[in-house]
Amino acid sequence: MMGEQSVMQEELFYGFSLERHVPADHLLRAIDRFVDLSAIRQHLAPFYSPIGRPSIDPELLIRMLIVGYCFGIRSERRLCEEVHLNLAY
């Protein structure tokens, strides 16, 4: 079963705007302008079972891989820690 992010980050924090905290010249903002992953779920849907526990959102996984490549993070465990700690990711 394909998972999908259903809650936007703005709803998790009272009076917090992620847009205001990430600098306009951050590398990931530049990458985000050119990378369109909106069709990734539809493209990968045939590879997911309709039953079972929902997976991690495939768009999130691809974005995490891009972060890992851009910042030279080779370990999946380290990548998860970095994404958890750094708001820009």
- List the chain domain ranges: 18-49+57-85
CB-based contact 29:22 (threshold 8 Å): yes
CB-based contact 79:64 (threshold 8 Å): yes
pLDDT of 3 > 70? The answer is no
Confidence of residue 24 (pLDDT cuts 50, 70, 90): confident
* pLDDT tens, position by position, 31-57: 888 999 989 999 999 999 889 888 888
pLDDT of 80 > 80? The answer is yes
Distance of CA 59 to the CA centre of its chain: 6
Indicate yes or no: pTM above 0.85.
no
- Pick the closest to residue 3 from 65, 64, 63, 45 (CA basis): 45
Confidence of residue 30 (pLDDT cuts 50, 70, 90): confident
CA distance 75 to 31: 21
Helices (H) and strands (E) in the chain, counts: 5, 0
